[in-house]
Structure 1
């Protein structure tokens, strides 16, 4: 753990989390969900599956995101748009798209939290208000973690995505705290750390991979933690101030 900014005077009253790659690894889950989706398409929309590989559909979504970066806050709509395009090109019935997305989302929410997450959330619930703010499509009810969070804000529902300060401020307001009374924890230096700090919050970079990317990015998180144990240790110091 490292602390890069001077400790503020006010102890935190709330902590909010990013979800994907902060509380659980998401890349292998998405990869598995995309395989299951393509298998579903092979059975129910075979012309799409024959004409479009998993990789070609992924590249199509990346092009769409580059052209319309605001869609980072609604990734399921990016996937829907990609399927619409593929179904149209293959001459398949677009009425099947909703079922395809439901199949994908069921698999997408089969995540496994890092081993330190559940004990860490239990510790935090005894001391702070706990919430989440995510640009992703994780469903905490399906995953089975909703009971650990007082509030959860998804960019797709809110209409504004991280790193816009508005969504961080909304999280603070929902918990009834001022931004300087809240800590945000996430794995992304731009969307999470910079976004939260621009909203007036303390920001912890959850750097499970031991990267030094913050140096090249010129970002100064309030703390850098490799796991929940380090996060809780840092928070204890903040709460004692």
Structure 2
């Protein structure tokens, strides 16, 4: 088997939990709107703004590539609907962006990345809008690709292959680690990478989905053990 030279990580729900962060960021944004765009906050609840975004996404599925662009478009539509000044939408987005990146990595992440960096080159591939500079983890990764900037999203093989090329490794020399069976595991495997399912919840969803990860890990400690075994082969 080809030696592992690089590891590529998904971000949201792989290196940190994201649902509670997004929920809090939406609360923070709505409070900001109540102060700076009161007609929007009075007319639409958080849930109503979310429902409008989902309806917009259904009409324009291309927004799947960039959920920040979707949120911006949703806010512009809400502002226009109530006659608020759309000039402050960008400020609202900056406020949300900061709150969205107030993530807390899982306990195993920081020590795990430090150890993995000693032997392997690290990178990230994400469909999300996390800002690794704001999160404070950018320095761990040689390459970071986001679908919104690259123009293609997981599970498209192109984004995995581009990350491997940027790292200077062949797909067979790279391992992708992520929490989503279809986007992460199947996507990476179809691009020729080995794929580890980061299953922090103990789910058996892979059995129902018919997906066969190269490994299943609950923590970066387990990932390091598996990687060590691959390096010894």
Question: How far apart are 1:56 and its partner, in Å?
Answer: 1.2
Root mean square deviation of aligned Cα: 1.0
Aligned residue for 1:184, secondary structure, equals strand
Question: How far apart are 1:70 and its partner, in Å?
Answer: 3.4
Q: Structure 1 pair 15/110, CA: closer, same or farther in 2 (3 Å)?
A: same
- Which stretch shifts more, 62-71 or 191-200? 62-71
Quick one: higher RCO (CA 8 Å, sep 6+), 1 or 2? 1
Alignment map for 1:112-151 (pairs within 5 Å):
112-151=104-143
Which residue does the alignment assign to 1:189? Answer: 181
Distance 1:151 1:27 in 2: 25
Which residue does the alignment assign to 2:149? Answer: 157
Which residue does the alignment assign to 1:15? Answer: 7
Which residue does the alignment assign to 2:73? Answer: 81
Distance 1:19 1:197 in 2: 18
Which residue does the alignment assign to 1:230? Answer: 222
Distance 1:194 1:69 in 2: 21
- Which stretch shifts more, 60-69 or 25-34? 60-69
Residue 61 of structure 2 corresponds to residue 52 of structure 1: no
Distance 1:142 1:57 in 2: 26
Question: How far apart are 1:164 and its partner, in Å?
Answer: 0.7
Question: How far apart are 1:128 and its partner, in Å?
Answer: 0.7
Distance 2:48 2:102 in 1: 24
Distance 2:216 2:189 in 1: 14
Gaps of 5+ in 1: 1-8
Aligned length: 233
Gaps of 5+ in 2: none
